Amino acid sequence: MSRDRCLPGPRSRRRIDRSVLVAASMTALSLTASGCVVVHGEREVLPATTRAEAAVALKEFTAAYNKADKAYDSSLDADHVTGALSDIDAARLKAGRANNPQGNPSYSPLELSDARFTIPKKAGWPRWFLADAKANKGGEARWLFVFTRDGLDQPWEAAYLTLVTPGEVPAFKKDQDGWAEPVPADSAELAVPPQDLSKDYATYLKQGGDTFAAGAHTTKWREQRAKSAERPGLVTQYIDEPMTDGDYAPLALRTTDGGAMVFFTTRHFEKQTAHTGVSVPTPNDDVLALTKGEIKQSLTMEFVSNEVVLNPRRGTAGNQVTVLGRIQGLTSAQGE
């Protein structure tokens, strides 16, 4: 937050008591007259929030998420989500409402417990923090939420949500007061600069390579795509794109081993094209609810995915990025 401090002219300055000047320098003013000096509070290195405020943000998100899920109404949690999670959540609720206008017939509230907060100390906006909690859904997985906000007058919004196996959440580097260390998006200290992960992941899914370690979201996902690409009467094409701007920007926390846990976003297209005389398999009701146009010979589906990875320190043995978790959701579809 910027504070504007207007300095008086030479004559006035001599008449003002020192205590008044001190008080004035601590007051935020909204003046645009000439002679004002801007004091940039956003340049101060501060904890993103307090632990108590982080707990409140998680509680408010959960309450809003449950209301939206029960009613299948995205307006009920729109102020608490952003970025990839907002895209995925809004599409899910839109499809649910189209098929169940009266609300979610199988509604079961999300309940979070054992919440742990990792709060980085940083300058500038956005400020953000990580919430790591157990849930009454998803088995034993830990639910990782990244909350962001762009100013003191803005609400905390969940931008990322991924699920990871217990024990896979790394130890984070912290100072003597318990505040974590964010890693700059352009950091060259890591195997891959965080700002390049989205692009490199999209490239890997198309071409392969050794940037990412083998696993369910890398080698196995590529194998599944290869098997589905050519089936009798049907061809499936895949296009992967990076998403890095604004609320889709990667966010990284330093781990005790010198690496980082990084959250980032990608977009994926899957186009199914039927041969002449053959029909595209009829998709389920949720896909149909998000589909524009008539499905004749092809169906193109668009997905948004958010990933969380362990990005090792450059020069580490192996030097591969490990994808710990990924949540993907259909956001739109086009029939032709």
User: Burial code of 13-52, b = ≥16 C-beta within 10 A, e = fewer?
Assistant: eeeeeeeeeeeeeeeeeeeeeeeeeeeeeeeeeebbbeee
Same domain, 157 and 65: yes
Does position 225 have pLDDT exceeding 80, yes or no? Answer: yes
Residues 25 and 149 in one domain: no
Contacts of 56 (CB under 8 A, 6+ apart): none
> Which residues neighbour 12 within 8 Å (Cβ) at sequence distance 6 or greater?
none
Asked if 133 and 269 sit in the same domain, the reply is: yes
Residue 142 and residue 102 share a domain: yes
Can you give 234-268 as a three-state secondary structure string?
A: EEEEEEEEEECCHHHCCEEEEECCCCEEEEEEEEE
Residue 251 tokens, joined: 């966010």
Query: What does the pLDDT look like over 274-315, one tens digit per residue?
Result: 999 899 999 999 999 999 999 999 999 999 999 999 999 999
Give the predicted TM-score (pTM) of the model: 0.86
**What confidence score (pLDDT) does residue 66 get?**
98
Q: How far apart are CA 174 and CA 121, in angstroms?
A: 9
Q: Is 21 in the same domain as 115?
A: no
- The pLDDT confidence band at residue 42, using thresholds 50, 70 and 90, is low
Residue 16, pLDDT score = 36
Nearest to residue 144, comparing CAs of 262, 239, 225, 43? 262
Our count of domains for the chain comes to 2
Q: Pick left, alpha or beta for residue 200 (phi over 0 → left; psi -120 to 50 → alpha; otherwise beta).
A: alpha
Residues 173 and 246 in one domain: yes
Q: Is the pLDDT of residue 7 over 90?
A: no
Quote the CA–CA distance of 171 and 178 in Å, as a whole number: 12
DSSP state of 27: S
pLDDT score recorded for residue 35: 35
pLDDT band with cut points at 50, 70 and 90 for residue 114: very high
Same domain, 249 and 149: yes
Residues 15 and 81 in one domain: no
Is 165 within 8 Å of 155 (Cβ atoms)? Answer: no
* Percentages (nearest 5) of helix, strand, coil residues in the chain: 30, 35, 35
Query: Which residue range is the domain that position 21 belongs to?
Result: 2-43
Question: Measured between alpha carbons, how far apart are the two ends of the chain, in Å?
Answer: 49
Q: Please tell me whether residues 77 and 29 are part of one structural domain.
A: no
Q: Which pairing describes strands 322-335 and 291-292: parallel, antiparallel, or unpaired?
A: parallel
Q: Is the pLDDT of residue 5 over 70?
A: no
Q: Same domain, yes or no, for 141 and 11?
A: no
308 in the same domain as 174 = yes
Q: Is the pLDDT of residue 43 over 90?
A: no
Residue 216 and residue 255 in one domain = yes
For residue 266, what pLDDT is reported? Answer: 98
